[in-house]
């Protein structure tokens, strides 16, 4: 019972390494304690339970903010929203139960533990559209390990954190072997030191002025029909005095009406900005009518839509949020509770073949809200991009930790690709991030304002952009195999 409680406590420590707490050394404490609990388990079944308790602590605390959107804006009673969030956390915790279970069966080596952790984290990010939240590597964005990101992305950072933590526990008992893990973790530490001297991208052209408009429209009012004209007026007023030669960005769903219904207003705003030699990009819902019917998209557009150069000027979001932007099995569950009928919950995903946007002569890789959490998607679209742009509306999660965790993860994409990232939001965090993942300028949350800054276009390819996740998945598989081989040699009597 003591070790089960310790596993739960270790999981509760995990989110403290992330925003808004940013106690990143606790990441190693949390993982190390979790590994120690797995080591002490008397059976694979007991290891499974301890791993599940570890994951339950991690997610029950780390994503507790999910209930905010369900209760405050999805009109779900609190007595339903909290259990729903708990069930979600309990499901996600199974991934860590399986990690502890599988690595126990393979002899409890640090190599197998780290390899399986990474493989199941990756699976969590792709299964059923994925939930790529709270990967261990994100907590290291402001640590000395951060320079590993251009080489292997958040995956290499995660692998490093887990392997080093587990190997530290192995140091307490040298006689049980584990020398391969110690060698591997030492190699990672050397690579970390070397990575501080490496640069993979270069400036391309002169700096560009940018204005990120934060409308700060309350979420409980934003989607009301009576707010549509008022919303247009708010963004129009905020944009009026922006200096010339500036790229103006409005956030996700800045306008809560379809572009096709407000095209005159949007194009007029774009024309005013163009007359000051500026560019204009806005988030806006999109409606497409074809022979097969009507489809709806969560979109971002570079205005004017038809500048005469034949280039792509609108991007439709590819990675949709389940229940927020589309309802799985909607014929069965839509209408059961108000949460399944949130505004704009019937979107269609855009095609993966969409090109990047263009504005003021720059190629801009666009990502809408949740999409910035997918490392491979961002890496793939960054090759020909001068800058990354993500727009979001995190007002769904109120004053909770959710928006700050989201912002922290977005910063990792800048570091992985060696490019500046522009982040425009409805109520924060609106910011400009440089190629090192550092915040250059930012607006306070929950204020109506305009962030005037600039970004430096960059070109070049980082190793992570060139290879993606696959080398690290292969390495993880080799680590699992090496752990299994070590089990046969050093622990032949451990029951399967």
Dig out the tokens for 305 from the structure. 């839509």
46, 369, 371, 435: which one is catalytic?
369
R_g over Cα of the chain? 24
Phi/psi at 193 (5° precision): -65, -40
* Contact call for residues 67 and 84 (beta carbons, < 8 A): yes
Of 357, 358, 360, the residue nearest 207 (C-alpha): 360
How distant, in Å, are the alpha carbons of 109, 169, 177, 404, 426 from that of 173?
Answer: 12, 8, 8, 39, 52
46, 252, 371, 435: which one is catalytic?
252
Could you give the strand order of the β-sheet that contains 387-392, starting from the edge strand earlier in sequence?
Answer: 357-359, 362-368, 387-392, 421-425, 431-433, 439-442
* Contact call for residues 141 and 433 (beta carbons, < 8 A): no
- Is residue 317 flagged as an active site residue? yes
* Contact call for residues 342 and 324 (beta carbons, < 8 A): yes
- Is residue 435 flagged as an active site residue? no
* Contact call for residues 421 and 390 (beta carbons, < 8 A): yes
* CB neighbour list of residue 250: distance below 8 Å, 6 or more residues apart: 213, 215, 235, 239, 280, 281, 282, 283, 391, 424
Measured from the Cβ of residue 234, the count of other Cβ atoms closer than 10 Å reads 17
Of 380, 458, 469, the residue nearest 422 (C-alpha): 458
- Nearest-angstrom CA–CA distance, 387 and 299: 18
- Is residue 477 flagged as an active site residue? no
Measured from the Cβ of residue 484, the count of other Cβ atoms closer than 10 Å reads 17
Beta bridge pairs of residue 363:
358
167, 269, 317, 325: which one is catalytic?
317
* Contact call for residues 201 and 461 (beta carbons, < 8 A): yes
Stretch (H or E) spanning 215: none
* Three-state DSSP state, 402: helix
Residues labelled as active-site residues:
252, 317, 369
């Amino acid at each position: 019972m003591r070790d089960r409680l310790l596993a739960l406590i270790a999981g509760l420590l995990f989110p403290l390494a992330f925003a808004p707490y940013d106690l990143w050394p606790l990441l190693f404490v949390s993982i190390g304690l979790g590994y120690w609990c797995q080591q002490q388990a008397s059976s694979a079944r007991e290891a499974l339970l301890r791993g599940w308790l570890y994951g339950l602590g991690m997610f029950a605390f780390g994503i507790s903010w999910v209930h905010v959107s369900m209760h405050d804006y999805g009109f779900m009673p609190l007595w339903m929203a909290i259990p729903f969030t708990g069930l979600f956390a309990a499901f996600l915790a199974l991934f860590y139960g399986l990690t502890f279970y599988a690595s126990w069966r393979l002899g409890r080596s640090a190599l197998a533990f780290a390899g399986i952790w990474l493989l199941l984290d990756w699976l969590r990010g792709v299964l059923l559209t994925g939930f790529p939240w709270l990967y261990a590597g994100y907590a290291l964005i402001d640590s000395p390990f951060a320079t590993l990101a251009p080489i292997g992305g958040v995956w290499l950072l995660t692998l490093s954190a887990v392997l080093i933590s587990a190997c530290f526990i192995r140091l307490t008992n040298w006689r049980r072997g584990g020398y391969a893990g110690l060698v591997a973790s030492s190699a990672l530490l050397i690579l970390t030191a070397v990575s501080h001297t490496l640069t993979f991208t270069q400036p391309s052209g002169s700096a560009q002025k940018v204005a990120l408009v934060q409308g700060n429209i309350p979420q409980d009012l934003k989607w009301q029909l009576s707010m549509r004209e008022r919303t247009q007026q708010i963004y129009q007023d905020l944009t009026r005095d922006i200096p010339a030669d500036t790229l103006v960005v409005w956030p996700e769903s800045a306008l809560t009406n379809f572009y096709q219904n407000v095209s005159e207003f949007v194009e007029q705003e774009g024309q005013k900005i163009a007359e000051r030699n500026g560019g204009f990009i806005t988030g806006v819902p999109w409606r497409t009518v074809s022979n097969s019917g009507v489809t709806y998209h969560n979109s971002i557009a570079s205005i004017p839509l038809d500048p005469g150069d034949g280039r792509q000027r609108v991007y439709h979001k590819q990675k949709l949020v389940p229940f927020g932007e589309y309802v799985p099995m909607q014929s069965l569950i839509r209408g059961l509770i108000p949460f399944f009928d949130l505004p704009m919950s019937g979107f269609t995903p855009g095609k993966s073949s969409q090109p990047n946007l263009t504005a003021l002569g720059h190629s801009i890789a666009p990502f809408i809200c949740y999409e910035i959490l997918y490392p491979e998607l961002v890496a793939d679209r960054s090759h020909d991009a001068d800058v990354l742009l993500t727009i979001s509306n995190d007002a769904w999660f109120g004053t909770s930790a959710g928006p700050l965790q989201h912002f922290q993860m977005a910063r990792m994409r800048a570091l992985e690709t060696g490019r500046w990232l522009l982040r425009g939001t409805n109520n924060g965090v609106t910011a400009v991030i440089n190629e090192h993942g550092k915040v250059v300028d930012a607006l306070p949350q929950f204020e109506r304002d305009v962030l005037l800054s600039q970004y430096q276009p960059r070109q070049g390819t980082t190793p992570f952009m060139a290879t993606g996740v696959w080398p690290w998945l292969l390495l993880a598989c080799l680590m699992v195999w090496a752990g299994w081989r070590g089990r046969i040699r050093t622990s032949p009597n451990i029951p399967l």
